[in-house]
């Protein structure tokens, strides 16, 4: 069987009404089946969330409440269609790929499904056992990256895409279709690096060895898709624990919170029933 990055993937991305997974509503979605030597298949949804969005969210994705009310699909119908399409991909064994997929997008779909139909994602789609989260992979394989600027973080989608040689169009960015496709392309780039001999990897990757000891963490990505999923569970938990420790320490400065708790569950987090309305 070919390496995981050369197999078929289902790239998934949502734009939402706010950034908190328990309260956010879906406003757009893209699910793109790509790779594996087959034609790309794209499905998109524009959704009327039925509630006012946060202004910060509108500033990012540019989908106003008025536009969604006029052109968006009713949320309950859209969530059912999206859930069915995602469940079909899971049932076919096609890995889901996305950036921050396990901390936000999949949990957003789970909460929306509970909200509108009373069932969680894994209840109707089956266990999530093949997820490729490019945020988790990038943080593990290329750690300690510095911020690009005050407004561009070290592991946001744009930074990840550009790190792996992908062009970034800010005018198209933050649209679900564009971001989903970029996440699949980034995953392909990471997988291709991991499956090359160390001496043939880009110079910036080989330089990481000087900071990590005798091997590069990209070696950890050169496994089959099921093992890669299991490894991401551990990497996400370790990253969350490290961030929690930092938040509780003096190093956090103004952000310090001695009681900070960072949930490291991945790719599905426990839901708060009281906020699913």
Rounded mean pLDDT, 207-211: 72
Q: How far apart (Å, rounded) are the C-alpha atoms in residues 146 and 154?
A: 5
Domain presence at residue 273: no
pLDDT confidence of residue 213: 55
- Please report whether residue 265 resides in a domain: no
CB distance 107 to 77 below 8 Å:
no
Tell me which residue range forms the domain holding 219. Answer: 4-260
Whether residue 276 lies inside any domain: the answer is: no
Total domains present in the chain: 1
- What confidence score (pLDDT) does residue 211 get? 59
Specify the pLDDT at position 276.
Answer: 62
Residue 210 pLDDT grade (very low, low, confident, very high; cuts 50, 70, 90)? low
Q: What is the mean pLDDT of residues 89-104?
A: 97
In the three-class reduction of DSSP (H, G, I as helix; E, B as strand; rest coil), residue 197 is classed as: coil
SS3 of residue 18 by DSSP? coil
Would you say residue 275 lies in a domain? no
Which tokens hold the place of 215?
């091997």
Q: Could you tell me if residue 125 is inside a domain?
A: yes
Residue 271 belongs to a domain = no
- In this prediction, residues 197-203 reach a mean pLDDT of 92
Residue at 192 is within a domain: yes
Alpha carbon distance, N-terminus to C-terminus of the chain: 44
Strand 131-133 to 73-74 pairing = unpaired
Mean pLDDT across 194-218: 82
- Give the integer Cα–Cα distance in Å for 168 and 162: 7
CATH number at residue 214: 3.30.420.10
Side by side, the strands of the sheet bearing 73-74 are 73-74, 41-48, 26-34, 9-16, 96-98, 131-133
Q: How many CA atoms lie within 13 A of 146 on its CB side?
A: 3
Q: What is the pLDDT at residue 238?
A: 96
Q: How confident is the model at residue 274 (pLDDT cuts 50, 70, 90)?
A: low
Q: What is the pLDDT of residues 38-89, one digit of tens each?
A: 999 999 999 999 999 999 999 999 999 999 999 999 999 999 999 999 999 9
Residue 217 lies in a domain: yes
């Amino acid at each position: 069987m070919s390496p995981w990055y050369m197999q078929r993937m289902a790239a998934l991305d949502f734009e939402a009404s706010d950034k908190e997974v328990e309260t956010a509503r879906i406003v757009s979605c893209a699910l793109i089946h790509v790779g594996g030597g087959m034609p790309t298949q794209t499905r998109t949804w524009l959704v009327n969330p039925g509630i006012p969005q946060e202004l910060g969210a509108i500033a990012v994705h540019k989908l106003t409440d008025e536009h969604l009310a006029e052109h968006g699909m009713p949320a309950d119908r859209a969530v059912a269609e999206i859930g069915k399409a995602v469940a079909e991909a899971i049932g076919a064994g096609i890995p889901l790929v996305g950036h921050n997929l396990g901390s936000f997008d999949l949990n957003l779909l789970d909460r929306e499904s509970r909200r509108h139909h009373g069932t969680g994602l894994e209840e109707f789609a089956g266990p999530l056992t093949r997820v490729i989260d490019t945020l988790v992979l990038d943080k593990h394989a290329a750690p300690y990256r510095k911020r690009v600027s005050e407004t561009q973080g070290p592991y946001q989608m744009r930074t990840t895409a550009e790190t792996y040689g992908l062009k970034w169009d800010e005018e198209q960015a933050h649209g679900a279709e564009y971001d989903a496709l970029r996440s699949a392309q980034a995953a392909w780039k990471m997988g291709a690096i991991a499956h090359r001999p160390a001496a043939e990897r880009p110079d910036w990757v080989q330089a990481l060895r000087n900071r990590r000891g005798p091997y590069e963490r990209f070696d950890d990505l050169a496994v089959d898709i099921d093992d890669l999923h299991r490894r991401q569970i551990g990497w996400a938990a370790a990253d969350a624990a490290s961030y929690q420790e930092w938040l509780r320490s003096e190093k956090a400065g103004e952000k310090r919170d001695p009681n900070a708790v960072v949930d490291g569950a991945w790719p599905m987090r426990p839901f708060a029933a009281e906020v699913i309305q």
